[in-house]
Amino acid sequence: MTDRPHIGFIGAGLMGHGMAKNLVEAGYPLSVLAHRNREPIEDLVSRGAGEAKDVAEIASNADVVFLCLPGSPEVEAAVDTLLGAKGKVRTIIDSSTANPVSTGTLAARCEAAGVTFVDAPLSRTPKEAWEGNLDIMVGASEEVFARLKPILDVVGGKVVRVGEVGAGHTMKLLNNFLSLGYASIYAEALAIGAKSGVSAEVFHSVIGGGRMDCGFYQTFMDYVVGGNPNAHKFTLRNAHKDMRYLVSLANESGIASNVSSAVKNGLATAESLGRGGNYLPTLADTVAELNGVTKTKGQ
């Protein structure tokens, strides 16, 4: 027997699979929600997790529930069911990238039902999720953060309390704004260069290793010049969704969204062209094609 809380996990996808794997291997009793993608579920069950047929069954067994879902609509639906089930759940940890406006509403509803809602979105990639080395931005009171940190430390290498509920999702959107803004700049710079006789390889030979280099640049260019299709497993669809949330937050805050709206519109264009399922570095291909650039690499 264990005195550790029973954890429910909803959303064992690219990031969630590794997180759930680390939780069950750390000795936490774990229930994972059934999903049409059987591979991660069967892997987790083989490691000792139980499979729940629906969200209500998760609620009946779990003390703490992790959500790692595509966005706010899915989070809202899951919370509705968890609260409606009136089960054992006393804490919900939302690791999704969600709209902070929605987060505040959900936190108030949960509080009224005697449930603590915490936003703890993630940074880094599925590789770090598998290794238990994610960056986690937590929105919670100091008391709640101290209580949950041992659990979060199992899945995160850098776990930072960034403020009260809602601050985690706000910080995550700001973090993604920076990376998606860089992606937009890289894509346009590469297209301008290619149109003017500077190949992606030449561009990379100058920028790589210089002051403008960074980890995100390296993964982006690993696709552009390295040809690695899995260099950054984050879809243009999700990128567009995150920027919609960021622009919405800017509007709520009364901040002029000159740059964020431009980044959002570029991603909206890519998705409207049917590229939403492609990974983020392919934005370079879309921007090149829209500008009549047929070859960005060296001749």
Residue 209 forms part of a structural domain? yes
Q: What are 192-213's pLDDT values in tens digits?
A: 999 999 999 999 999 999 999 9
61 and 160 share one domain: yes
20 within 8 A of 12, measured Cβ to Cβ: yes
Check residue 125 and give its pLDDT: 86
Residue 2 forms part of a structural domain? no
Check residue 259 and give its pLDDT: 98
- Give the position of tokens 């431009």: 262
In angstroms, how far apart are the furthest CA atoms of the chain? 67
Which domain, by its residues, includes 152?
A: 7-164
End-to-end CA distance of the chain: 65
For range 282-299, the mean pLDDT: 82
Structure tokens at 84: 């409606």
pTM of the full predicted structure?
Answer: 0.89
For range 149-164, the mean pLDDT: 97
Instruction: Please say which residue of 111, 144, 164 terminates a domain.
Output: 164
How many domains, the chain? Answer: 2
Check residue 258 and give its pLDDT: 97
* β 134-139/50-52 pair status: unpaired
- Respond yes or no: is residue 21 known to be catalytic: no
Task: Give the model's confidence band at 35: pLDDT under 50 very low, under 70 low, under 90 confident, else very high.
Answer: confident
| CATH code, 65 | 3.40.50.720
> What φ, ψ does residue 294 adopt, rounded to 5°?
-95, -15
| 298 has a pLDDT exceeding 80 | no
Q: What are 85-135's pLDDT values in tens digits?
A: 999 999 999 999 999 999 999 999 999 999 999 999 999 888 999 999 999
24 within 8 A of 3, measured Cβ to Cβ: no
| 297 has a pLDDT exceeding 80 | no
Separation between Cα atoms, residue 198 and residue 296, nearest integer Å: 8
What is the residue-averaged pLDDT of the chain?
94
Burial call 115-146: b when 16+ CB within 10 Å, e when fewer: bbbbbbbbbbbbebbbebbbbbbbbbeeebbe
Check residue 135 and give its pLDDT: 96
For range 165-175, the mean pLDDT: 96
Residue 295 forms part of a structural domain? no
Structure tokens at 54: 């629906």
Q: What are 246-263's pLDDT values in tens digits?
A: 999 999 899 999 999 999
194 and 102 share one domain: no
103 and 138 share one domain: yes
Check residue 209 and give its pLDDT: 96
Q: What are 23-33's pLDDT values in tens digits?
A: 999 999 999 99
Task: Give the model's confidence band at 1: pLDDT under 50 very low, under 70 low, under 90 confident, else very high.
Answer: very low
Task: Give the model's confidence band at 2: pLDDT under 50 very low, under 70 low, under 90 confident, else very high.
Answer: low
Separation between Cα atoms, residue 222 and residue 275, nearest integer Å: 19
| 299 has a pLDDT exceeding 80 | no
If phi > 0 it is left, if psi is from -120 to 50 it is alpha, else beta; for residue 86 that is left
- Under DSSP, the state recorded for 197 is T
Instruction: Please say which residue of 111, 137, 164 terminates a domain.
Output: 164
151 and 193 share one domain: no
Instruction: Please say which residue of 164, 194, 218 terminates a domain.
Output: 164
| 13 has a pLDDT exceeding 70 | yes
45 and 134 share one domain: yes
Q: Which residue has the higher pLDDT, 68 or 124?
A: 68
For range 264-291, the mean pLDDT: 97
Q: What are 219-233's pLDDT values in tens digits?
A: 999 999 999 999 998
Task: Give the model's confidence band at 37: pLDDT under 50 very low, under 70 low, under 90 confident, else very high.
Answer: confident
Of 21, 53, 88, 172, the catalytic one is 172
Check residue 295 and give its pLDDT: 60
The candidate with the shortest Cα–Cα distance to 116, out of 71, 82, 70, is 82
